């Protein structure tokens, strides 16, 4: 628990700092990209120079991607939750996710027929799924399988304590598994740290998972990670059931939480 508190304070501080810088930096990048696109379309520009300007624009594009991650990370915007079915959110982004993971990775969605009513900010939950799919793609450069499953799960006292969350109850769960490179213990422990990345410069910002962590925390949920080097990784996202539907959620066939993965 102590560790989690420290983690969130650290993220808060870094977020504020990074957000300020990212905002100003983004304005500068827009100038570079703006003039760059004028120059690139200049008919009299020799081919060689045109190529060089394109290189500049590529680099500026990468920097813009970084600043947009930074802004998403720092923007501790108040969430605007509404009650909706988690399955519907997944159905809504499914196409987009399969575009992210590319043709070599197969997407399989296994959604529970149960209603999973949760109070969530749809855009932010979509952001979570996008970040996870992006990482899964990077973990499967030779292709593989990405499985998204949903379920309802009652969290009991023991499980809550083991995971450092204080509120037992009914949760909607999204489980996202890839058949990628996996992570060793050392990496797994650091993935939620802002700016922690094992990817090369320009490829990873190290912010995707801290954004995931922040969003899920704001929704009073939590994230578990199971990973096996060489075999793959499973993320399990737990979101509390909406108050109104909590009772119905607990009817039969809701398993008592095994931390499976
Ligand atoms: P980035 O993707 O920019 O590196 P993230 O915060 O999204 O930053 O992820 C941090 C690190 O966590 C990654 O660099 C990678 O080492 C590890 N990671 C995250 N998701 C996975 C995954 N599905 N499989 C293997 N490693 C992962
Ligand atoms: Mg990432």
- In sequence order, what are the residues at sequence separation of 6 or more whose Cβ sits closer than 8 angstroms to the Cβ of residue 170? 152, 153, 154, 155, 240, 241, 246, 249, 250, 254
Residue 261, pLDDT score: 42
Tell me the sheet residues that pair with 107: 146
Tokens 């037992």 map to which residue? 168
Is a pLDDT exceeding 50 seen at residue 170? Answer: yes
pLDDT at 141: 96
User: Near ion ligand 2, which residues have CB within 5 Å?
Assistant: 135, 208
Is the distance from CB of 69 to CB of 209 less than 8 angstroms? no
The residue contributing the CA closest to ligand 1 atom 20 is 135
Predicted confidence band of residue 260 (pLDDT cuts 50, 70, 90): very low
Distance CA 177, CA 164 (A): 23
pTM above 0.80, yes or no: no
Q: In the predicted model, is pLDDT for residue 24 greater than 80?
A: yes
Angle at 99 between CA 204 and CA 227, to 5 degrees: 50
Structure token pair of residue 122:
């749809």
| Three-state DSSP state, 195 | coil
Mean pLDDT for all residues in the chain: 87
Atom of ligand 1 nearest to the CA of 210: 6
Extract the tokens encoding 194. Answer: 């802002």
Residue whose CA is at the smallest distance from ligand 1 atom 19 = 135
pLDDT tens-place string over residues 228-241: 999 999 999 999 99
The torsion angles phi and psi of 25, rounded to 5 degrees, stand at -65, -40
* Structure tokens given for 73: 């990370």
Which residue would you say has higher pLDDT here, 253 or 61?
61
Interior angle at CA 126, CA 121 and CA 127, nearest 5: 100
pLDDT band at 8 (very low <50, low <70, confident <90, very high): low
Q: Is 136 in the pocket of ligand 1 (CB under 6 A)?
A: yes
């Amino acid at each position: 628990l102590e560790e989690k508190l420290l983690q969130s304070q650290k993220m808060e501080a870094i977020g504020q700092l990074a957000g300020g810088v990212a905002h100003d930096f983004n304005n500068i990048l827009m100038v570079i990209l703006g003039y760059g696109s004028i120059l690139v379309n200049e008919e009299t520009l020799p081919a060689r120079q045109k190529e060089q300007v394109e290189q500049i624009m590529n680099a500026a594009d990468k920097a813009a991607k970084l600043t947009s991650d930074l802004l998403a990370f720092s923007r501790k915007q108040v969430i605007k939750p509404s009650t909706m079915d988690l399955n519907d959110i997944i159905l809504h982004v499914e196409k987009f996710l399969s575009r992210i993971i590319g043709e070599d990775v197969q997407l399989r969605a296994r959604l529970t027929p149960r209603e999973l009513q949760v109070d969530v900010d749809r855009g932010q939950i979509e952001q979570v799924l996008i970040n996870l799919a992006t990482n899964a793609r990077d973990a499967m450069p030779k292709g593989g399988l990405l499985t998204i499953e949903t379920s309802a799960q009652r969290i009991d006292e023991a499980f809550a304590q083991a995971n450092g969350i204080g509120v037992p109850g009914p949760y909607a769960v999204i489980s996202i598994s890839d058949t990628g490179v996996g992570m060793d213990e050392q990496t797994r422990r650091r993935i939620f740290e802002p700016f922690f990345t094992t990817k090369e410069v320009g490829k990873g910002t190290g912010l995707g998972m801290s954004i995931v962590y922040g969003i899920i925390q704001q929704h009073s949920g939590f994230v578990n990670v199971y990973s096996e080097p060489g075999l793959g990784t499973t993320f399990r996202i737990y979101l509390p059931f909406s108050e109104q539907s909590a009772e119905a959620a607990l009817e039969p066939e809701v398993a008592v939480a095994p931390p499976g993965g």
